[in-house]
Amino acid sequence: MQLVFATHNTNKLEEVKKLMPVHIHLVSLSEIGCLEDIPETGESLEENAQIKANYVTENYNLPCFADDTGLLVNALNGAPGVYSARYAGEGKNTEDNMTKLLSEMRSVTDRSAHFKTIIALNLKGETHLFEGIVEGEITSERAGGDGFGYDPIFSPNGYEETFAQLSLKTKNSISHRGKAIQKLMTHLRQLSNV
Ligand code: ITT
């Protein structure tokens, strides 16, 4: 089965490819010729995930899913949340985003936070949403060279390391996106059993 993953984020694509069973042929946006930036104009992760998936359905009429992810910090009332990509400005600069977040957290003692992923699947005329959450803490400084986005300053509960210090295999086994993808897979397996 061919399934489009509606993302331009190559790090996300690599993570998700590692989680796909062999019978699902994951196709990227560039592989279907979609090079344009899909505007994320929603006010929630759910809305944005659906906007991205619907864009592919409407313009390419292919089975697809999209994910929208946010980092929600409790002491900042859930910021940066749905605005995680643009936290430090429209340039969507990862380093600037981390610098801003560490600066906002300088004198904060409650450093608890969670990543949340919403996946929207458009298949056979139906939309299904899947959620994945991982709880953890914002570290006081960057650590690690792997991963992407806020990974160098997020340490999942139960680990000393940040996501950027853990292997991709470990990150995928506990992460927001890994959990949401597992739910997506369970759903797809149920469909193919019918
Ligand atoms: P697409 O919309 O093309 O999928 P994006 O990078 O814009 O790619 P999101 O809107 O879902 O993706 O991500 C919002 C921000 O959260 C962005 O700055 C990412 O770098 C960050 N982010 C997403 N997943 C992450 C992860 O697993 N670890 C660390 N940061 C992540």
pLDDT digits (tens, 9 = 90+) for 8-46: 999 999 999 988 888 899 999 999 999 999 989 999 999
Known active-site residue 146: no
Catalogue all structural domains in the chain, each as residue range(s) with its CATH number: 2-193 (3.90.950.10)
Identify which of 150, 154, 165 to mutate to test ligand 1's pocket (most ligand atoms within 8 A of the CB).
150
Taking the model in full, what pTM does it have? 0.96
DSSP state string for the chain: -EEEE----HHHHHHHHTT--TT-EEEETGGGT--SPPP---SSHHHHHHHHHHHHHHHH---EEEEEEEEEEGGGTT-EETTGGGTT-TT--HHHHHHHHHHHTTT-S--EEEEEEEEEEEETTEEEEEEEEEEEEE-SS---SSS-TTGGGEEETT-SS-TTTS-HHHHHHHSHHHHHHHHHHHHHHHHHH-
Q: Closest by alpha carbon to 122, among 56, 175, 173?
A: 56
Q: Is the shortest distance between the CB of 166 and ligand 1 below 6 Å?
A: no
Mean pLDDT, rounded, for 183-187: 95
State residue 28's pLDDT score. 94
